[in-house]
Copies of this chain bind each other. A is one copy, B any other.
Amino acid sequence: MTKKTIVPMPVIRRLPRYHRYLEELLKNDVKRISSRELSERMGVTASQIRQDLNNYGGFGQQGYGYNVEELYNTLTKILGLDKTYSTIIIGAGNLGQAIANYTNFERTGFSLKGIFDINPRLFGLKIRDIEIMDVETLEDFLSKNKIDIAILCIPKDNSQIMADRLVKAGIKAIWNFSPIDLKVPDDVILENVHLSDSLLTLSYRINEENLLKAKVEEK
């Protein structure tokens, strides 16, 4: 399916949020925070935070709470943000361009090395100083450049074929924006951003009360 994680995914998904909060606290010059305060701000229980962090060793002292900077630095390391990553984007449409321009990436160590598209009119154009290249040259490019993450921003009809090509060319991590559940080997990491799933969750929530009310009335 995709590479299995050792720590459960729900735990992992909370880590970037902890990291974000601690970054805010650091900016506001907060030196330490109690687990209760941190939990109130984040809307999770204090024991949840403790349990989550215990996967990576012990943090915080009884009666003192967390040293903000220390915990922030540790989370930086846990999230792998003390390293840099080479990335390429497949698909230079609106979304691909938006991702290429997403300023957070460079700042946090994700370095864009190439953008590929199928449309000849885009070849040679530049986004953030990176030239858009013919996707036919992808394999050649990957044989000459060590790329850690491929970002897939193409329509769903072609995305499985493209994922297969990337995997065959040695890519071990895919950030997928296509609205499809890609099939990749067990040693490949697949992280999806399914925008339409998120939007459908929103429309569900707009209607939930009426929906469940109607169900009760039916009975």
Q: Is A208 a contact partner of B94 (Cβ separation < 8 A)?
A: no
Cross-chain contact of A211 among B78, B85, B199, B207 (Cβ < 8 A)? B78
Q: How far is the CA of A207 from the CA of B16 in the complex (A)?
A: 14
Number of chain A residues close to chain B: CB under 8 A: 69
Residues of B within 8 A of A199 (CB): 104-105, 108, 110, 175, 191
How near does chain B come to A60, taking the closest CB pair, in angstroms? 17
For the residues of A in contact with B, the DSSP-based class is helix
Cross-chain contact of A200 among B5, B6, B16, B209 (Cβ < 8 A)? B16
Copies in the complex: 2
The proximity string for A residues 14-45 relative to B, scoring 1 for CB distances below 8 Å and 0 otherwise, is 01110111000000000000000000001100
A175, closest chain B residue (CB) = B202
Q: How far is the CA of A98 from the CA of B6 in the complex (A)?
A: 35
Interface-centre pick from A21, A181, A202 (highest chain B CB count, 10 A): A202
Q: How far is the CA of A57 from the CA of B172 in the complex (A)?
A: 41
A47 at the interface (CB under 8 A from B): no
A158 at the interface (CB under 8 A from B): no
The proximity string for A residues 190-218 relative to B, scoring 1 for CB distances below 8 Å and 0 otherwise, is 01111111111111111111011001001
Cross-chain contact of A79 among B85, B98, B99, B203 (Cβ < 8 A)? B203
A64 at the interface (CB under 8 A from B): no
Contact status of A43 and B1, CB under 8 A, knowing A191-B205, A215-B56: yes
